[in-house]
Amino acid sequence: MKIFGLPMSLSQKILYAVHIVFLITINIAASTEANGGEEYGDVTGRIILQGEIPKLRPLLGPGDNNKARDAALCGALDIPNDSLVIHRKNRGIQNVLVYLRKAPKEAIHPVIEKRKNQMLKVSLKNCRFHPHTMVVRNDQEVVIEQGGATGHNVHTYPIFNRGFITLVRPGKPGLPIKLQPFKLKEPLPMQVKCDIHAWMQAYWLVLDHPYAATTDANGRFTIDKLPEGEHSLTIWHERVGYIEKAYKIDVSKDKRVDLVVYEVPLDRFEIRDDELRE
C-alpha cells in the first residue's frame, strides 16, 4: 500500500486505517449531534369553509371619499375585508395560523434552525398590510418597507413584549424601517394596526420556535421537520379565535402527516349583516 506515492510499513498501514476509522466515527457523531439524534417528519393540510361562501363588502371604496382619512388615495381601489378570505373555487380559508404553542423538547432540525436569521418584510401597499398574517420567531428581524403616497404607522398590541408605534412617512421608497426583535414569545397572535387608517390591521404570531405556518390562498399549510412523536396543533383565526386548541397529530420518521381537509362551519365566523354586500 502506498500513500502519496510512498510505500508504507505494516505499522504505518495500521495507524492509517485507525485514523480513517476515527474520522468516519467523528463525522457520524457530528451528524447525529447536528440533529440531536432525533428523527423528523412533515405535517400538511388544508383548512376549508363549510357552508355558503359569504360575499363581504369592501372596507373602503371609491364612493367612500368622505368616510375616512386619505380615502381619495386609499379608496381608489376597493380595499377588501382581509378578516375573512375564502377561495371562490376550492373554499380554502386564507390566513389561518397553525402552530405548536410550545417548543418541542427535542432539538430543532438544523435546516429550519437556520431560518431564524431570515429577515421578514412587511409592506403597506395600497393602504393594507402585506402579509395580513405572519409568523415571527422572536429572534427574527422585521422590516417595514417605506413608500406610497400617504403616511402610516405600525402599532403593535402584544401581551408580553413591549408594544411600539413606528411612523412610516409618505414619499419615495427609502431604506426599510427595522423593528427591534421581540424578546418573548406571545401566547396568542397579536394585532398590528395603523392608527391613521382604522381599517388597516394584521396579525403576527411571535414564537420561540419555527413550528408554525399560515394558510395560503388555497387554505393549505405545511409545517416541516417536526420531531417524531405526538404533538398538539393549535388552529387559530382572527374572527374565531381558537378553531382548535390541541389538535393531536402523530409524526413519523421521514413521513408526511396529511390532515387532508379540515372544515370550519360558516357560523363560527359570526358575520354581521352590515358586512355583506346587498
In a domain, 164, yes or no: yes
Same-domain check for residues 110 and 216: yes
**Amino acid sitting at position 248:** K
76 and 150 Cβ atoms separated by less than 8 Å: no
On whether residue 273 sits in a domain, the answer given is no
Cα(70)–Cα(124) distance, integer angstroms? 14
Write out the three cell numbers for 108. Answer: 430543532
Judgement on whether residues 97 and 167 belong to the same structural domain of the protein: yes
For 44-84, what is each residue's pLDDT tens digit?
999 999 999 999 999 987 767 666 778 777 877 789 999 99
CB atoms within 10 A of CB 68: 18
Regarding whether 189 and 88 lie in a shared domain, the answer is yes
Residue 75 resides in a domain: no
Strands (E), the chain: 2-3, 6-7, 40-50, 97-100, 119-123, 133-137, 141-145, 152-157, 165-168, 177-178, 190-193, 201-207, 212-214, 220-227, 229-237, 241-251, 256-258, 262-265
Q: Are residues 22 and 102 in the same domain?
A: no
Question: In terms of Cα–Cα distance, which of 40, 50, 58, 44 is closest to 215?
Answer: 44
Of the two residues 102 and 77, the one the predictor is more confident about is 102
Using CA atoms, how far residue 4 sits from 15, 85, 201, in Å, is 15, 67, 67
Q: How many alpha carbons lie under 13 Å from residue 27 in its C-beta half-sphere? A: 6
pLDDT-derived band at 252 (thresholds 50, 70, 90) equals confident
Flag whether 27 is in a domain. yes
User: How does residue 30 score in pLDDT terms, banded at 50, 70 and 90?
Assistant: very low
Alpha carbons 36 and 225: distance in angstroms, whole number: 13
**Considering its fold, how many domains does the chain have in total?**
2
Residue 256 maps to a domain: yes
Same domain, 136 and 202: yes
CATH of the domain at 237: 2.60.40.420
Residues 22 and 89 in one domain: no
Residue 58 lies in a domain: no
Same-domain status, 15 and 115: no
My answer on whether 135 and 249 are in the same domain is: yes
Are 86 and 24 within one domain? no
Q: What is the pTM of this model?
A: 0.83
Asked if the structure places residue 97 within a domain, the reply is yes
Pair 18, 88 in one domain = no
**Residue carrying the nine cell digits 406610497:** 148
Domain region containing 22: 2-31
